[in-house]
């Protein structure tokens, strides 16, 4: 693996850009190769078999770009297809949002009551509960699927009053469980963090998996000697690939990342 290789980041669609933003802010000298499966999103409502099949195709695509590390930005993939990622990655190190989010939640909680909000597939997999329990066997994890959040975010309806009503309905249950820490267990949820913050008690610490995964990536690159040396002359060249509607991705990416973006390249992973 070469130090100057890129970081391969992938997601079921556009949501993984929250992780890309975290990486760009935390590791500004690293190049990113991103794949978003915009033709087949959402994954959160699909079967484990289908998600594993799609995941294998994406990982093989990124490995063909000689990435030096992989970041599984999608919580649903991290929940149900992580073994597939590791099998294909071989000795390429892997960071995933669930391991990072679980670790951060255990470090944050004082009363061991941790809430997780995520897609149906992630909640049904119990992946967060298992990851948290392995680190803290006194923990009680309350997971709540919030399937309507993703379509609202995808449609850009972040301030829509209907979203607030739905969010209150989803989140009040968790507040009554006495959680002191809440994990945003889906790529899209950091984009509605202000709304979640408004609804949840001030004392509840909100863990944004996209930020903690970027921090874990920084630690991993440093500890494995794979970090790019700080060099102001280095040309940073991120590459973005999608499986459908590149123009929509470009528009949303420009507003998420607050910078001009080239049109991502279209890739058909089935061919």
CB of 188 to ligand DGL, least distance (A): 6
Helix axes 97-108, 127-135, angle to 10 degrees: 50
- Burial of 180 from C-beta contacts in 10 A (0-12 / 13-18 / 19+): middle
Told to check if 18 binds ligand DGL by CB under 6 A, we report: no
Sheet with 205-208, edge to edge strand ranges: 140-145, 113-118, 181-185, 205-208
Q: 76 or 243: whose CB is closer to ligand DGL?
A: 76
Q: To which H or E segment does residue 34 belong?
A: strand 32-36
> Scanning residues 153 to 192, which ones bind ligand DGL (CB under 6 A)?
186-188
| Residues belonging to the active site | 74, 186
CB of 117 to ligand DGL, least distance (A): 10
Quick note: the x/- pattern for ligand DGL over 66-95, rule CB under 6 A, is --------xxx-------------------
CB of 168 to ligand DGL, least distance (A): 21
Told to check if 11 binds ligand DGL by CB under 6 A, we report: yes
Told to check if 58 binds ligand DGL by CB under 6 A, we report: no
Q: Which of 5, 15, 101, 190 binds ligand DGL (CB under 6 A)?
A: 15
Taking a C-beta distance cutoff of 8 angstroms, is the pair 261, 252 a contact? no
CB of 43 to ligand DGL, least distance (A): 4
Strand, coil or helix: what is 129? helix
Residue count, binding to ligand DGL (CB under 6 A): 17
- Residue 73 main-chain phi, psi, to 5 deg: -80, -20
CB of 94 to ligand DGL, least distance (A): 16
Piece of 6-14, 156-164, 233-241, 260-268 that binds ligand DGL (CB under 6 A): 6-14
Question: How far is residue 80 from each of residues 74, 84, 121, 145, 243, measured CA to CA in Å?
Answer: 10, 9, 8, 15, 21
DSSP state of 147: T
Taking a C-beta distance cutoff of 8 angstroms, is the pair 186, 42 a contact? no
Told to check if 99 binds ligand DGL by CB under 6 A, we report: no
User: How far is the first Cα of the chain from the last one, in angstroms, to the nearest whole number?
Assistant: 27
Q: 75 or 228: whose CB is closer to ligand DGL?
A: 75
Told to check if 41 binds ligand DGL by CB under 6 A, we report: yes
Structure tokens at 64: 């063909």
Q: Which of 10, 34, 35, 43 binds ligand DGL (CB under 6 A)?
A: 43
Residues 6 or more apart whose CB falls under 8 angstroms from that of 78 comprise 72, 96, 97, 98, 99, 122, 127
> Scanning residues 117 to 136, which ones bind ligand DGL (CB under 6 A)?
119, 122
Strand, coil or helix: what is 140? strand
Structure tokens at 169: 């309905």
Nearest to 135 by CA among 170, 172, 159, 106: 106
Told to check if 100 binds ligand DGL by CB under 6 A, we report: no
Told to check if 36 binds ligand DGL by CB under 6 A, we report: no
Where does this chain bind ligand DGL (CB under 6 A)? Answer: 11-13, 15, 41-44, 74-76, 119, 122, 150, 186-188
């Amino acid at each position: 693996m070469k130090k100057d290789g890129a970081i391969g980041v992938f997601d079921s669609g556009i949501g993984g850009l929250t992780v890309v933003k975290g990486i760009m802010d935390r590791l500004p000298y690293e190049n990113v190769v991103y794949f978003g499966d915009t033709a087949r999103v959402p994954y959160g409502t699909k079967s484990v078999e289908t998600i594993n099949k799609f995941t294998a195709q994406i990982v093989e695509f990124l490995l063909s770009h000689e990435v030096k590390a992989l970041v599984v930005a999608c919580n649903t993939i991290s929940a149900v297809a992580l073994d597939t990622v590791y099998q294909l990655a071989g000795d390429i190190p892997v960071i995933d949002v669930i391991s990072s989010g679980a670790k951060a939640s255990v470090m944050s909680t004082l009363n061991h009551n941790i809430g997780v909000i995520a897609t149906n597939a992630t909640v049904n997999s119990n992946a967060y509960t298992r990851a948290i329990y392995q680190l803290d066997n006194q923990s009680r994890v309350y997971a709540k699927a919030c399937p309507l959040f993703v379509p609202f975010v995808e449609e850009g309806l972040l301030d829509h009053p209907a979203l607030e009503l739905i969010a209150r309905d989803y989140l009040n249950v968790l507040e009554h469980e006495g959680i002191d820490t809440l994990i945003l267990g889906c790529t899209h949820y950091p984009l509605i963090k202000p709304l979640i913050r408004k609804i949840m008690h001030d004392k509840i610490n909100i863990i944004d998996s996209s930020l903690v995964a970027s921090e874990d990536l920084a630690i991993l690159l440093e500890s494995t000697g794979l970090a790019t040396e700080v060099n102001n002359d280095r040309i940073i060249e991120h590459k973005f690939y999608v499986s459908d509607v590149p123009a929509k991705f470009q528009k949303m990416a420009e507003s998420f990342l607050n910078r001009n973006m080239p049109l991502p390249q279209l890739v058909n992973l089935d061919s």
